[in-house]
Amino acid sequence: MRNESHLLTIRLKPSLPLLVVILVAHLAGVVALFLMNLPMTATIPLVLLLLVSAVLAARVQAHKRGLSFVLATDGALRMCRDNHDVWARVLPGAVLFPAVSWFALAWTAQDGRPRRLRLMLIASEVIEDCGGNAQWRRLRAWLRHRALDAGADTLSRVA
């Protein structure tokens, strides 16, 4: 049984501004393909590839709705969604900037296989209960310390 004490619970939501930027970038790519005077046999597959990429990016944003992270004092992170919890650990190598953070999580799935998830979060994806960006700052501080503390045996500590 894990230590249930935790520092805080971070609730996530999709970011509409980020989704707009992603979709505009994909649209710009489609327009650029048509302006390049490529043969249609090359343009159509590339446009389809960009459309699939845009749909996948929108799905990633949608999956953040209802996702919560419970940050435990022992360095574990519990991902919660729809009564389904998974304990994970932050992998070394997190990249943290004031408005964006990239990090990876590792855990052992129910079937015993190691799993990994790479995340990019921006400040507007964190639901702030009291206004401001206190939760975002706390998440970044926790990630900074946990990513530095994460060792090579991270997967063995997840189980």
DSSP tag of 22: H
Say if strands 68-72 and 76-81 run parallel, antiparallel, or are unpaired: antiparallel
Q: What is the length of the chain?
A: 159
Q: What's the total number of domains in the chain? A: 1
**pTM for this model (two decimals):** 0.74
Please state, rounded to an integer, the average pLDDT across all residues of the chain. Answer: 85
Mean pLDDT, residues 18-46:
94
Nearest to 138 by CA among 82, 80, 77, 92: 77
Mean pLDDT, residues 122-143:
85
pLDDT confidence of residue 36 = 93
Range of the domain at 16: 1-159
Spatial contact of 118 and 124, defined as CB atoms under 8 Å apart: no
